[in-house]
Amino acid sequence: MEEYHIKLSDWEKSRESGRRKLLMEEVEQQQQLKGEDWWKRLNNKLADRWSSRKKPENMEAGVGKWVSYLKREKKLDSLVGRRPTAPPAPKGLYIYGNVGTGKTMLMDMFYGATEGIVKHRRRYHFHEAMLRINEHMHKIWKTQMEEKSLQSSIASWIMNLPFDTKAKEWLAEEERYKQEMQMKNILPAVADEFFLNQEEDRKGASVLCFDEIQTVDVFAIVALSGILSRLLSSGTIIVATSNRAPKDLNEAGMQREIFQKLVSKLEEHCENVLVGSEVDYRRFIAQRSVNQVHYFWPIEPEAVNTFQKKWHDVTGRFGGRIISQTISVMFGRTLEVPESCDGVAHFTFEYICGRPLGAADYIAVAENYHTVFISDIPVMSMRIRDKARRFITLIDELYNHHCCLCCLASSSIDELFQGTEDGTLFDLESFQFETETEGAKLRRNVLAEGNVGSGGSPVGITSILSGQEEMFAFHRAVSRLVEMQTPLYLDGVRNVHPYFQRQHRKSQKSNGSLLSEASI
């Protein structure tokens, strides 16, 4: 892989250098000619050739530019060669099965074992991966939109050329067209620049650990297909977990052709392993340990007093000063935290799950607070399905970041989720594309407004969902809530949570500075 990435880097530089050279030659040839303005002739040359034939009625505007672009790319293939092919990589692993059977644990054990051995590695949960993809796509689109004026769109190498303004304008248009063609293949660009995190020393193998692969909507199918296909063809090793086998990920039948390509790639590059146990090991461990109670129910005076005492005890250990705080969320947004104390936060259920929040907000909470208190949690049914799905997403993120969670709820964990025959519990807000726009609604209550797109077009999305997907989500949330009470989980909070890892790094840096000063 080191040799491949060296070849790839050299090829990319040669390709860009060769492309510019071809453009320069085209300009120089045309400037030597007399008569009609050279840039008009250059732009009309291919169009005239096409018009001499029988022009199809549905021919799109700009076909001349497209043919010119393809001819140039073909010439570059002969001069520089095609993109280098990555050497065959070891097969990855796709682990699937019931909740609590150890899929994520196995993946995390592997990921931990790669530290210091595999330099280019990433570990993502599904929610975070989708948000990161959205964020990076939005950055690329924003960059393109900002480059509107001629001055900003002409690259510096064009500005310094010994050509007149007309020639530079033509070159700038060719650059814009190249960027437009690249935008049509945005997902490979996201994979190259984001997941692989290309650096100057971008050599060696890459490993992507992907927890809980899902295909809940069209965007997830298209994005995963484009991203994973690019990564797998570039030699990246995928280690993934899911509740379903690859072929069963899309029972609703969305984007069948694209989805089938994704399945083929996964089956070609990954060993599919069913963890077939029916045992929920989280519950198994909980039954055999003396659990520390962090889940209080029902909402009656005794439980309320115990919950409040727990809050005062925990915040007292971290200074006892309760303040409100504003934390940063993806896409340039913020979230107000009403009560916080040095890595500890308290929310009511209505505040954190009753408002239009989502995975991005819950990731921000999980990253900033090692201990989270949630009070007044109701029994969840179809009547509050948006809130129920947000709560499940919140539990997912708190668990993924290894937070300590204290709950004050109306019922026991096992009775918290109660679906009805009226339909399925599913948060349609997860289908919405997030942006950094502050003025517009980022999400909306889909039950009240009847649509799922940020543009507001009504979609009968409920019909494509089966009840099986959310049943996995409920069972997973219950299983995780049970495990989050166990000493094994709670003892790991100080070692694993990002808050304490940041403190540890600061301490190491401070100690290093003191040692350096002492040596001086």
Report helix, strand and coil shares of the chain as percent, to nearest 5: 55, 15, 30
Pair 209, 122: CB distance under 8 Å: yes
Beta strands in 18-175 (DSSP E): 92-97, 120-125
- What tokens does 82 get? 């095609």
pLDDT tens-digit readout, 432-452: 334 333 333 343 333 333 333
Residue with tokens 């392993």: 273
Q: Residue 406's pLDDT band (boundaries 50, 70, 90)?
A: very high
Q: How many residues does the chain have?
A: 520
Give percent above pLDDT 70 in the chain.
74
| Distance, CA of 94 to CA of 210 (rounded, Å) | 9
Q: Is the pTM of this model over 0.95?
A: no
Contacts (Cβ under 8 Å, ≥6 apart) of 55: none
Quote the pLDDT of residue 466: 43
- What tokens does 164 get? 């007149």
Q: Is the peptide bond before 298 cis (omega within 30 degrees of 0)?
A: yes
Quote the pLDDT of residue 44: 58
| Distance, CA of 98 to CA of 473 (rounded, Å) | 11
Rg of the chain over Cα atoms, rounded to whole angstroms, equals 28
**Residue 140: pLDDT above 70?**
yes
Better-scored residue on pLDDT, 168 or 313: 313
Quote the pLDDT of residue 38: 53
Torsion sign over Cα 372, 374, 379, 381: negative
| Distance, CA of 15 to CA of 8 (rounded, Å) | 10
| CA distances (Å), origin 96, targets 211, 238, 399 | 10, 14, 19
157: left (phi over 0), alpha (psi -120 to 50) or beta: alpha
**Residue 35: pLDDT above 60?**
no
| CA distances (Å), origin 22, targets 35, 37, 48, 170, 310 | 23, 20, 22, 14, 71
Pair 326, 357: CB distance under 8 Å: no
Helical H runs in 184-300? Answer: 186-190, 218-233, 256-269, 281-287
Quote the pLDDT of residue 33: 61
Better-scored residue on pLDDT, 110 or 61: 110
**Residue 150: pLDDT above 90?**
no
**Residue 295: pLDDT above 70?**
yes
**Residue 206: pLDDT above 60?**
yes
Buried-state track 204-242, b at ≥16 Cβ within 10 A, e below 16: ebbbbbbbbbbbbbbbbbbbbbbbbbbbbbbbbbbbbbb
Minimum mean pLDDT range among 35-44, 118-127, 211-220, 256-265 = 35-44
| Distance, CA of 364 to CA of 374 (rounded, Å) | 16
Question: In this structure, are strands 404-409 and 295-296 parallel, antiparallel, or unpaired?
Answer: parallel
Quote the pLDDT of residue 57: 44
DSSP per position, 382-425: GGGHHHHHHHHHHHHHHHHTT-EEEEEESS-GGGSB---TT---
Beta bridge partners of 175: none
Q: What's 333's DSSP letter?
A: E
Q: Residue 393's pLDDT band (boundaries 50, 70, 90)?
A: very high
Quote the pLDDT of residue 276: 78
**Residue 116: pLDDT above 90?**
no
**Residue 507: pLDDT above 70?**
yes
Q: What is the mean pLDDT of residues 23-31?
A: 77
Quote the pLDDT of residue 461: 33
Better-scored residue on pLDDT, 390 or 285: 390
First to last CA, the chain: 42
Quote the pLDDT of residue 53: 44
| Distance, CA of 173 to CA of 134 (rounded, Å) | 28
Q: How many CA atoms lie within 13 A of 141 on its CB side?
A: 11
pLDDT tens-digit readout, 303-315: 999 999 999 999 9
Quote the pLDDT of residue 144: 63
Q: Of 249, 296, 311, nearest to 96 (Cα)?
A: 249
**Residue 467: pLDDT above 80?**
no
Quote the pLDDT of residue 156: 64
